[in-house]
Structure formats: structure tokens, C-alpha cells
């Protein structure tokens, strides 16, 4: 399972942090434009606009809601084969709130490096090994010529540039740099 687990402390009560992660306007200010509504079954979109030429819409559906403790929704952009799950858990602690984010890809496909040749075209996929991007692979026909230089092991497809950007510091930046500024203004 590919995923990200983060915990952040905010010196604000859970209800205030909840408001910033469940209010559509507040979400737009620190995360992305959206049409979010905090109700089970609500289908909404985030609009990720930092990658030119890529459809940055992310289809989501609220699947769990326990105000002001827990929120979960699916997350699937146009480049993903399977949805991922984003779960926010708010815990009151002395002096504020501990916010935990779990973003997990529940289903993924594994690539075998010994596949027969199918095409001479270059084949690019973002690959994950141990939750970090490891390399870009070439087409099977090119790969056979390079077999000595490509490590053999279990590789999993990370099928989304947008998801990859959030797993590789995007969430960290949003939660530690931008969201605290929004909390100050709220």
C-alpha cells in the first residue's frame, strides 16, 4: 500500500481547524478550488492548476464524516487508475489540535521487469519503491538492452503526477506553510 502519514499541531481548538478543512472557501485558500460540502455521499472536485497542459480536476466523494473529529473522502484525478483515500483526524491536545492526515492508495498494480517485448515506443511511468520515486523505465524493447543497469525488484506504479506531487512535499507544504496562515486569519 502506498501512502502518506502526517501529523501537525495547531494552537487552535479542533472546531476552528475543522472549519478550515471543511469550508469550501477556506479549502480554496489553502488547498485548491473546490465545490466541497461536508456531507456523506457528496461528490465534489478539487481543481489542481499548477501543472500546465494536464487536466487537474480531482474527483472526490465524502465517505466518512464525524464533526469535528474525522473526515474521509476519495481522491481520483484523471491520471489515476484507482482512487486513493484522504482521511483527516482531529484530536484535542493541550494548547490546541493534533491534525493527522492519512492519504493512501489502496489498490495499485505491480510491474514485472521481465515482461516480453511489446512496443518500441518509449514507456514512462512514475515508479514507487518504499514510498519514494525511484526511476523512470523505458519501453520493454529498450529495457532489454539496459537490463544490467536497471535494478530488479518489486516496483509499483504511481499512476498520477498530481498524486506524486502531493506525496512528495505537497501535503507538507500545504499543512505547514499555508494552512497555518489561513488559521491565523480565520
* Tens-digit pLDDT profile for residues 25-43: 999 999 999 999 999 999 9
**What pLDDT sits at residue 51?**
63
Cα dist from 149 to 11, 66, 138, 152, whole Å: 50, 50, 12, 9
Q: 156-180, pLDDT tens digit by residue? A: 445 578 888 898 889 999 999 999 9
Grid cell, residue 22, equals 471543511
Top CATH class, 2-108+163-185: alpha beta
Average pLDDT value over all residues in the chain: 78
Is the pTM higher than 0.85? Answer: no
Per-domain residue ranges of the chain: 2-108+163-185, 110-158
Phi and psi (nearest 5°) for 107? -130, 140
**What pLDDT sits at residue 157?**
47
Burial class (CB in 10 A: 0-12, 13-18, 19+), 168: middle
Considering only CA atoms, which of 109, 110, 88 is closest in space to residue 99? 88
CA dist 127 and 42 (Å) reads 32
Poorest-confidence range of 64-73, 142-151, 174-183?
Answer: 142-151
CA dist 83 and 74 (Å) reads 6
Amino acid at each position: 500500500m502506498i501512502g502518506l502519514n502526517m501529523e501537525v499541531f495547531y494552537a487552535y481548538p479542533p472546531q476552528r481547524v475543522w472549519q478550515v478543512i471543511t469550508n469550501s472557501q477556506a479549502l480554496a485558500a489553502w488547498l485548491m478550488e473546490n465545490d466541497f460540502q461536508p456531507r456523506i455521499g457528496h461528490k465534489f472536485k478539487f481543481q489542481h492548476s499548477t501543472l500546465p497542459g494536464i487536466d487537474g480536476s480531482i474527483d472526490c466523494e465524502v465517505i466518512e464524516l464525524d464533526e469535528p473529529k474525522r473526515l474521509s473522502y476519495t481522491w481520483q484525478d484523471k491520471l489515476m487508475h484507482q482512487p486513493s483515500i484522504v482521511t483527516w483526524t482531529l484530536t484535542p491536545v493541550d494548547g490546541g489540535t493534533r491534525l493527522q492526515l492519512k492519504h493512501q492508495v489502496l489498490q495499485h498494480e505491480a510491474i514485472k521487469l521481465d515482461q516480453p517485448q511489446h512496443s518500441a515506443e518509449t514507456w514512462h511511468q512514475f515508479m514507487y519503491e518504499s514510498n519514494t520515486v525511484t526511476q523512470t523505465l523505458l519501453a520493454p524493447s529498450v529495457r532489454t538492452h539496459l537490463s544490467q543497469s536497471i535494478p530488479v525488484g518489486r516496483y509499483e506504479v504511481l499512476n498520477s503526477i498530481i498524486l506524486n506531487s502531493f506525496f512528495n512535499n505537497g501535503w507538507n507544504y500545504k499543512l505547514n506553510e499555508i494552512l497555518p496562515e489561513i488559521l491565523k486569519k480565520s
